[in-house]
Amino acid sequence: MNSVLFVSVAIVLVAMTGVAAFTLPRSSNPLPFVGQKSITTESAGGLLLGLSLNETTIAPGQTISITVYERNTLQKTNNVSASNTWPVSGLGVGPCGVTTMPMGITVYQGNWSTLTISGVQPLQLYKPGPYYCPAIMGGIRAYVFQPTSGEAQVIGPCSPNPCFSANMSSTIDAKGFWGTSLIQFSDFTPGVYTVVAGDEWGSVVLLRFEVVSGSTTPVLGATCNFPSYLATLAAEVQTNQKFVSQQHGLSYALAYGDNESGTTGQANGKPYSTPPDTALTFYSYGAKPVSACPGNFPSSPIVGVLWVHVPLSPNGSYNVDNMTVYFTPGLFANSTSTGGS
């Protein structure tokens, strides 16, 4: 049996005064929207960083479970050297930080991206106070992952090695955050929150969840499963003159809010390409308004599609006045061009 010595040191955690410091350019991965429960990205040497939420809409006082994991995608044992190239400060899987894990998470209040989150203070998820943390977390040299698995041997200041084996996955349950005192705890208040996961090889992913007070029925009606923030944004977009000028007598209904990435595909046997940074997509079946929600839209041909990009302001809010509206001609049978802005 391996003998591993854990030297514990007492540290005092107080309310965070530091700020996030992203060192990466904008991720090439799609920017997730509220409603997306999981996301993954490739990391170093065949590893995969993943992040998932058990819910994307909760009420104040309700707990959300956040799972972060690292796994080997290769069908062979994978020895990956530690790097300590963290993409953002404040990542952790508990009050002691990442401890022996190569990945962690942090949560921010607001709707942020890697471009806008720099300088934003993360929330303190753990009660301030003294914690006894293993000193081994500073001496890990490598992780040896089993084939197509999250199980890994931790190589560090042990004799003999490995120090131990563990599944590189952690779930954090949170219902709010702490202030500067031991008694200053607040439930998550209504609004959008951004969860950031990163690993020590510099990979990063984001997800969002929304806290909704009272009824969680979306603005567009009980049969439409849109987050309330998305429905509110769509309603604001549809009254903006840029959107109105592109309707050309057609009536449009929100089909979905996608992940703000350029995508390609086929519809009715014809190829199409979504414009980059599309945030909202609206379908038209003619001049008559559509009262149904996505999934129950008419079976008749779509005669118009408007793709809308709404940029983010520096504070993370949507800047509707600077939005761009596109139309993809010839996408669906009997489609008519309304031009772009």
Residues 133 and 198 in one domain: yes
d(CA 267, CA 281): 15
Residue 341 counted as domain residue: no
Backbone phi, then psi, for 231, in 5-degree steps? -65, -40
**Whole-Å CA distances, 51 to 30, 69, 208, 322:** 14, 7, 11, 31
Higher-pLDDT residue of 315 and 60 is 60
CB contact at 8 A, 220 and 226: yes
Higher-pLDDT residue of 312 and 336 is 312
**Quick one: pLDDT at residue 47?**
97
The CB density around residue 26, as the number of other CB atoms within 10 Å, is 10
CB contact at 8 A, 71 and 145: yes
Of 186, 211, 236, the position where a domain reaches its end is 211
Residues 44 and 177 in one domain: yes
**Quick one: pLDDT at residue 181?**
65
H/E run at residue 166: strand 164-167
- 249 CB burial (10 A radius; 0-12, 13-18, 19+): exposed
**Quick one: pLDDT at residue 308?**
86
CB contact at 8 A, 284 and 305: yes
Each residue's pLDDT tens digit, 69-90: 999 999 999 999 999 999 988 8
Query: What is the mean pLDDT of the segment spanning 8-33?
Result: 39
**Quick one: pLDDT at residue 108?**
94
Residue 222 counted as domain residue: no
Of 211, 236, 255, the position where a domain reaches its end is 211
Residues 240 and 187 in one domain: no
d(CA 64, CA 177): 12
Residue 152 counted as domain residue: yes
Among 80-94, 180-194, 326-340, the range scoring the smallest mean pLDDT is 326-340
Residue 175 counted as domain residue: yes
Residues 65 and 189 in one domain: yes
**Quick one: pLDDT at residue 3?**
36
d(CA 199, CA 220): 38
Is 50 exceeded by the pLDDT of residue 5?
no
Residues 203 and 176 in one domain: yes
Residue 238 counted as domain residue: yes
Residues 188 and 234 in one domain: no
Of 182, 211, 240, the position where a domain reaches its end is 211
State how many domains the chain has.
2
Each residue's pLDDT tens digit, 245-284: 887 777 888 887 754 444 445 555 554 444 445 578 888 8
Residues 117 and 246 in one domain: no
Is 90 exceeded by the pLDDT of residue 234?
no
**Quick one: pLDDT at residue 10?**
35
**pLDDT confidence bin for 53, thresholds 50/70/90:** very high
Backbone phi, then psi, for 320, in 5-degree steps? -65, -35
**Quick one: pLDDT at residue 65?**
95
**Quick one: pLDDT at residue 265?**
52
Each residue's pLDDT tens digit, 247-258: 777 788 888 775
Each residue's pLDDT tens digit, 95-140: 989 989 999 999 999 888 776 777 788 999 998 888 888 765 568 9
Is 70 exceeded by the pLDDT of residue 68?
yes
Buried-exposed string 137-159: b where 16+ CB fall within 10 A, e elsewhere: bebbebbbbbeeebebbbbbebe
Residue 176 counted as domain residue: yes
The candidate with the shortest Cα–Cα distance to 48, out of 121, 182, 152, is 152
Backbone phi, then psi, for 307, in 5-degree steps? -105, 125
Residues 279 and 203 in one domain: no
Residues 185 and 289 in one domain: no
**Quick one: pLDDT at residue 106?**
96
Find the domain containing 297 and state its range: 228-327
The candidate with the shortest Cα–Cα distance to 111, out of 279, 282, 307, is 279
**Whole-Å CA distances, 62 to 87, 140, 170, 249:** 29, 36, 20, 45
**Quick one: pLDDT at residue 322?**
86
Is 80 exceeded by the pLDDT of residue 337?
no
Residues 185 and 265 in one domain: no
**Whole-Å CA distances, 262 to 202, 216, 248, 277, 325:** 24, 30, 25, 6, 14
**Quick one: pLDDT at residue 17?**
34
Residue 101 counted as domain residue: yes
**CATH for 67:** 2.60.40.1930
Residues 207 and 233 in one domain: no
CB contact at 8 A, 271 and 331: no
d(CA 49, CA 44): 9
Residues 194 and 242 in one domain: no
Residue 3 counted as domain residue: no
